[in-house]
Amino acid sequence: MKIGFIGLGIMGKPMVKNIIKGGYSDVLVNGRHQDVLDELAECGAKSATYEEIGKNCDVVMTMLPNSPQVEEVMLGKDGVASYMKEGSVFIDMSSINPVVSKTIAEELAKKHVEMLDAPVSGGEPKAIDGTLSFMVGGSEKLVEEYTPLLSTMGSSVVRCGEVGAGNTTKLANQIIVACNIQALSEALTLAKKAGVDPNLVFAAIRGGLAGSTVMDAKAPMMLSGNDKPGFKIDLHIKDLNNAINCAHTVGSPVPMTAEVMEIMQWLHEHDGGNKDHSAIAQYYEFLTGDKLGE
């Protein structure tokens, strides 16, 4: 199987490495930064143009920032889709608006190219160690066929429905993560203001009903003042924008999402866009004047 992979950023680069480690040796890659291309070449990948990827690859995979980039790469002038052969497959692992996923799938179907939307959860750490969670939309047959490939990058591959269902599931995931981080920030700030060590609060409640993967990952970052991004505020803003737009389209209320979006927008405007989304705690530090780590 010849694989094309487009988008070699914080997530895409380690994902390509894991594909190669998983036994897929024929991989063509396309990205903006020559140093990344050189690094992946050392692993066995080959740099290629959109035309080369479209004409030669059995499956094309993308890991791009948002809907416009995926549309442009695939359907734009001289986009990959214009070169893809009948019977090939497109797997988009970007987190985009599910409405756009469906539109792309419809255009590809005219060329007899099938599509999976397969966004991931886990951020950079899980991209590196190959334990991402895939939420996949597409036909049962196609999901079954490409699960081994996705499993080189992830520990979980779950079919959520037809094309678009993967990104709908990802939006639900991002709402839950964002609201959890906000609640955690608020709770630890309350403990701090009340004179209780937030480190001890975390230790006491993490094993109970309030405990979560989000808490275990983000509380230590908040308490140590570590805002090095595993998942950037600006990327979460993008996801919540897609969630709110989708919610408006289908008529679903999202008041909590809107509130945490406003906090993230404030952080973006105060030089926090490239910080980890656990930096939501810094919004509360600004309001109270107290730092959790002090």
- The answer to whether residues 200 and 124 belong to one domain is no
Helix (H, G, I), strand (E, B) or coil at 52: helix
- The answer to whether residues 92 and 172 belong to one domain is no
Rg (C-alpha) for the chain, rounded Å, is: 20
What's the CATH code of the domain at 282?
A: 1.10.1040.10
- The answer to whether residues 96 and 189 belong to one domain is no
13, 102, 170, 232: the catalytic one is 170
Rounded mean pLDDT of 134-138? 98
What's the CATH code of the domain at 108?
A: 3.40.50.720
Domain that holds residue 67: 3-162
Give 210-235 as a 3 state SS string: CCCHHHHHHHHHHHHCCCCCCCEHHH
> Is residue 294 a part of any domain in this protein?
no
Q: Tell me whether residue 55 is one of the annotated catalytic residues.
A: no
The pLDDT value recorded for residue 123 is 83
For the chain, what is the domain count? Answer: 2
Q: Helices 255-267 and 233-250, interaxial angle, to 10°?
A: 150
Rounded mean pLDDT of 267-292? 96
Encoded tokens for 124: 């950079």
The pLDDT value recorded for residue 45 is 97
Tell me: the pLDDT tens digits for 203-240? 999 999 999 999 999 999 999 999 998 889 998 999 99
The pLDDT value recorded for residue 294 is 61
144, 162, 180: which is the final residue of a domain?
A: 162
User: Which of 35-44, 118-127, 193-202 is least confident?
Assistant: 118-127
- The answer to whether residues 145 and 219 belong to one domain is no
Rounded mean pLDDT of 88-99? 95
162, 193, 224: which is the final residue of a domain?
A: 162
Taking all residues of the chain, what is their mean pLDDT, rounded to a whole number? 96
114, 134, 162: which is the final residue of a domain?
A: 162
- The answer to whether residues 119 and 189 belong to one domain is no
- The answer to whether residues 107 and 153 belong to one domain is yes
State how far the Cα of 218 lies from the Cα of 48, in Å rounded to an integer.
38
The pLDDT value recorded for residue 273 is 97
- The answer to whether residues 77 and 151 belong to one domain is yes
- The answer to whether residues 24 and 108 belong to one domain is yes
Percent of the chain beyond pLDDT 90?
A: 94
- The answer to whether residues 226 and 194 belong to one domain is yes
The pLDDT value recorded for residue 11 is 94
The pLDDT value recorded for residue 122 is 85
- The answer to whether residues 154 and 172 belong to one domain is no
